[in-house]
Amino acid sequence: MPRIIIAIDGYSSCGKSTLAKELARHLGYRYIDTGAMYRAVTLYFLRNHIDIHHPELVYDALQHITIDFRLNNDTHQQDTYLNGENIEHEIRVNPRVAGQVSDVSAISEVRRFLVKQQQALGNEKGIVMDGRDIGTVVFPQAELKLFVTANPKVRAQRRLDELTSKGQNTTYDEVLANLTKRDHIDTTRDDSPLKQADDAVLLDNTLLNREEQFKLALDIINQKIKATA
How far apart CA 165 and CA 41 sit, in angstroms, is: 25
**Amino acid of residue 208:** L
d(CA 85, CA 166): 20
pLDDT of residue 229: 74
Residue spans per domain, the chain = 5-228
Which letter, b or e, does each residue of 93-107 get, where b requires 16 or more Cβ atoms within 10 Å of its Cβ?
Answer: ebeebbbbbbbbbbb
| Nearest-angstrom CA–CA distance, 229 and 192 | 31
The Cα–Cα gap between 155 and 68 comes to 28
Cβ–Cβ under 8 Å, residues 3 and 122: no
One-letter identity of residue 94: N
Contacts of residue 208, Cβ cutoff 8 Å, sequence gap at least 6 = 216
CA–CA distances in Å: residue 170 to residues 15, 43, 175, 200: 20, 20, 7, 34
> CB of 204 within 8 A of CB of 192?
no
CB 91 within 8 A of CB 36: yes
The model's pTM is 0.85
Q: Per residue of the chain (229 residues), what is the pLDDT tens digit?
A: 789 999 999 999 999 989 999 999 999 999 998 999 999 999 999 999 999 999 999 999 999 999 998 888 888 788 999 999 999 999 998 999 999 998 999 999 999 999 999 999 888 899 999 999 999 999 999 999 999 999 999 999 999 999 999 888 899 999 999 999 999 999 999 989 999 999 999 999 999 999 999 999 999 999 999 998 7
In angstroms, the CA 9 to CA 78 distance is: 19
Domain 5-228 has CATH 3.40.50.620: no
pLDDT of residue 166: 85
In terms of DSSP H, where are the helices of the chain? 16-27, 34-47, 55-62, 88-93, 95-105, 108-121, 152-165, 172-188, 210-228
User: Could you tell me if 129 and 138 are in contact, meaning their C-beta atoms sit under 8 angstroms apart?
Assistant: yes
**CA triple 197-53-174, angle to 5 deg:** 65
Report pLDDT for 76. Answer: 77
Cβ–Cβ < 8 Å for 31, 24: yes
CB 195 within 8 A of CB 187: yes
| Confidence at residue 78, expressed as pLDDT on a 0 to 100 scale | 86
